[in-house]
A = this chain, B = another copy of it.
């Protein structure tokens, strides 16, 4: 029951600029849950979760906003299928198609994430080697032991 937040509070909690929030809205990535009669944007908890997801895909995965839009649309479609599941609205063939599509999108993303992790682990191991060689040059034992 936190109620809705103004753009300033929302931006501060998310660690993004107000400009970024307005821009995401401008290109259709999020719409604040409400506006005051005076025209001020009001953000819900769910809005904040969505923006956090946008930033995650942006900073961790390096996606641009077009790719993020596609990903969010797929996530929205899966949520819709889940909701329909309760209501038994869709016919089972169509439902299976939607689930299969949601699955392939997620498995593709998983592969991308896995590749990024592997790349970063290589970078980390290179850094460890460089750090070890600096300690050697300094003529000192390495202070941190690194067991497997």
Contacts and interface: CB of A to CB of B under 8 A. Distances in A.
Interface of A: 56, 59-62, 78, 81-82, 85, 96, 99-100, 102-103, 106-107, 109-110, 113-114, 116-117, 119-121, 123-124, 127-128, 130-131, 134-135, 137-138
Count the copies: 2
Given A116-B120, A127-B113, A137 B81 contact: yes
A83 to B, nearest CB: 12
Contacts of A124: 110, 113-114, 117
10 contacts: A56-B123, A59-B62, A96-B138, A99-B134, A103-B131, A106-B127, A110-B131, A113-B124, A117-B121, A120-B120
A61 B109 CA distance: 18
Given A120-B120, A127-B106, A137 B85 contact: yes
B106 A130 contact: yes
Contacts of A60: 116, 119-120, 123
Contacts of A99: 134, 137-138
